[in-house]
Chains A and B, each alone.
Chain A
Amino acid sequence: DSGVTQTPKHLITATGQRVTLRCSPRSGDLSVYWYQQSLDQGLQFLIQYYNGEERAKGNILERFSAQQFPDLHSELNLSSLELGDSALYFCASSVSDSSGNTIYFGEGSWLTVV
């Protein structure tokens, strides 16, 4: 158990809908990352927050957004969902955003868009 908690574990929704994925980082970790894992794209970095502020952006679609709250939990919002958004979404956390820090991953949220 990495200490990173993600909910829900599984989610099935229809095209055009909006969902919110939630993440609680490890105790004491200030940095949160979101990754998407799909068969065709592999593991793709989406976005990073550090202590409530956006720190880096990767291949995140405009239909997707995220935030990190004062209690350091984070949410990833996915809207106008398409079939191609079906994937495993990982949240991860680290103590800071120093490059040498280990990033610990949650078990992911499986999203299926039908």
Chain B
Amino acid sequence: AQSVAQPEDQVNVAEGNPLTVKCTYSVSGNPYLFWYVQYPNRGLQFLLKYITGDNLVKGSYGFEAEFNKSQTSFHLKKPSALVSDSALYFCAVRDPGGGYNKLIFGAGTRLAVHP
């Protein structure tokens, strides 16, 4: 069965410092991986996805993520954090060989960027 793990409930980082939000996955085949962000009282906003190709994926708002097949990871990164990046971040996976098409989400990681 496919699954996603976000090992950190919360990540704290100072404004201007680099940030990393971790994600690991488990699927039977080659994964399709996604990152979404949820601001308070808002819906989920798509940030980026990995389908195939270059392991480093660039997305919205300066975020990027690196797909690592050997470590089954897809960590979200940003070189310089902003206070406005503070939000709840979700990693998600789809297993194209898994029989049907649902998107499985991790539990979420709360990012707090301090001035």
- Chain A positions within 8 Å of B, measured between CB atoms, are 2, 4, 33, 42-43, 45, 48, 55-56, 58, 90, 92, 97-100, 102-108
Q: How far is the CA of A105 from the CA of B45 in the complex (A)?
A: 7
The closest CB in chain B to the CB of A96 belongs to: B101
> Among residues 85 to 115 in chain B, which have CB atoms less than 8 Å away from a CB atom of chain A?
90, 94-96, 100-108
User: How many contacts A-B (CB < 8 Å)?
Assistant: 55
Q: How far is the CA of A107 from the CA of B41 in the complex (A)?
A: 8
> Among residues 75 to 91 in chain B, which have CB atoms less than 8 Å away from a CB atom of chain A?
90
Q: How far is the CA of A43 from the CA of B88 in the complex (A)?
A: 12
Given A42-B108, A43-B90, A103 contacting B43 (CB threshold 8 A): no
Looking at B32, B95, B102, the one whose CB has the most chain A CB atoms below 10 A away is B102
Contacts of B96 in A (CB 8 A): 99-100
Given contacts A43-B105, A99-B96, A100-B96, 6 further A-B contacts (CB under 8 A): A2-B43, A4-B43, A42-B108, A97-B101, A100-B32, A104-B46
